Amino acid sequence: MAESAKINIDGKEIECPVVVSIEGEKAIDISKLRTTTGYITLDPGFGNTGSCKSAITYLDGEKGILRYRGIPIEQLAEYSSFVETSYLLIHGHLPTQSELDKFSLAFNEHSMIHEDMKNFFDAYPSTTHPMAILSAMICALSAYYPGLIKEDPTQEEFDRIAVQLLSKVRTITAFSYKKSIGEPFVYPRYDLRYVPNFLNMMFSSPTHPYKIVDEVAHALRVLLILHADHEQNCSTSSVRLVGSSHANLYASISAGICALWGPLHGGANQAVIEMLEMIHQDGDNVQKYIAKAKDKESSFRLMGFGHRVYRNFDPRAKIIKKCADDLLNKLGIHDPLLDLAKRLEEVALKDDYFVSRKLYPNVDFYSGIIYRAVGIPLNMFPVMFAIGRMPGWIAHWKEMMEDPSTKIGRPFQIYTGEAKHDYVPIEQRSYFHK
């Protein structure tokens, strides 16, 4: 394998070192390119560009491999808890029993939000999208814990913010849901674990205590673990970029939530169900919508399909599809949208358009089926993604801030605007639009 790459341009030569990871990933380090040759690279969407080195997650898009700190997600989904997986991602190793007990206890200590924050919910229209509320409320936490919004928090301060975010994100989510349906808030309970506590806050009411069904808690535990991290995706890269200016962790996470909201990213789980409902209303006409997805004249895309990195099955989609089947069978639910989703997958994966472009179901294709079965409202599906991704965002912010080579993220551009021309006084402007 090459140890370097030579670039000869305009009579100048630069030798760029090659970086190789333990998994065999290869990169050309071009950090001296501009100062040596005056050239920059151009790579819209960063499809060929690595932004950093990271030890948190590894994925292989060709082989459909995903590991958190070296552990396959299939094993974590089978044996771990979301709290334990969060510890693994943030601290780099599986916790001992005493470490896990201390970490779990802190979740209970930090599950409440300041009582004054309840007033925020009163100000939002009931139709507000919960991602707008979540991003604002996460940033607003910094107002109630000003002592923690430091450029360089101590390890203890960082650990406290991390657990606050992981624990309070449930409470904020449940409170925004309760507000949207006009029901009183249900407070977190000390005796409930992560997912059951969330379900209880979401679905209990003074007249109807929520009965926690193990299968439902299991399905959400698996979903949260599978969403916990995914390398330099759009929202994690946003957290890193914002944090690179030394913005505090609350602000960086709030930016990540906004990036995740987009239907091409974490908003896809909501868009998938909206798409399936539309196709179902149109008589489950699979062929019609597969044709539309292939038609360049149509803006329709098969939401939940395709991925920048996976050129094979998204390993998470496989687990989620089985989890959806198991949960609906156990709950005795027949969801026609699950049948429709499977049919779309079956037809697409026999169609050269999808096969040649290596478009497979991604993490969002089946996850909404589970959220529907649990009773989570459609516009909260991206919020569920955000709850799951919280440990990944926190872990990347920490890794970046601890990396001495980290600099503020500031990409260049290629200018395509007007050539230099003088200011024209308004009375002389006879603008005509070209």
**Of residues 111 and 135, the one with the C-beta less far from ligand SDX:** 135
Shortest distance in whole angstroms from residue 410 CB to ligand SDX: 22
Shortest distance in whole angstroms from residue 218 CB to ligand SDX: 21
Cα–Cα distance, 80 to 76 (Å, whole number): 5
**Of residues 363 and 380, the one with the C-beta less far from ligand SDX:** 363
Which residue of this chain has its Cβ atom nearest to ligand SDX in the complex? 306
- Residue of 364, 403, 421, 433 marked catalytic: 364
**Of residues 120 and 300, the one with the C-beta less far from ligand SDX:** 300
Shortest distance in whole angstroms from residue 198 CB to ligand SDX: 20
**Of residues 201 and 303, the one with the C-beta less far from ligand SDX:** 303
**Of residues 217 and 293, the one with the C-beta less far from ligand SDX:** 293
**Of residues 80 and 233, the one with the C-beta less far from ligand SDX:** 233
Residue 364 annotated in active site? yes
Shortest distance in whole angstroms from residue 394 CB to ligand SDX: 15
- Residue of 110, 307, 314, 396 marked catalytic: 307
A 10 A CB-CB count for 423 gives 4
Shortest distance in whole angstroms from residue 121 CB to ligand SDX: 28
For residue 27, report the phi and psi dihedrals to the nearest 5 degrees.
Answer: -140, 150
Cα–Cα distance, 82 to 84 (Å, whole number): 5
Residues found near ligand SDX in the complex (CB under 6 A): 45, 230, 233, 264-265, 268, 293, 301-309, 357, 359, 362-364
Shortest distance in whole angstroms from residue 163 CB to ligand SDX: 23
Describe the strand order of the beta sheet including 57-60 as a list of residue ranges. 57-60, 65-68, 71-72
Contact between 11 and 39 under an 8 Å Cβ cutoff? The reply is no
Q: Which positions are catalytic?
A: 307, 364
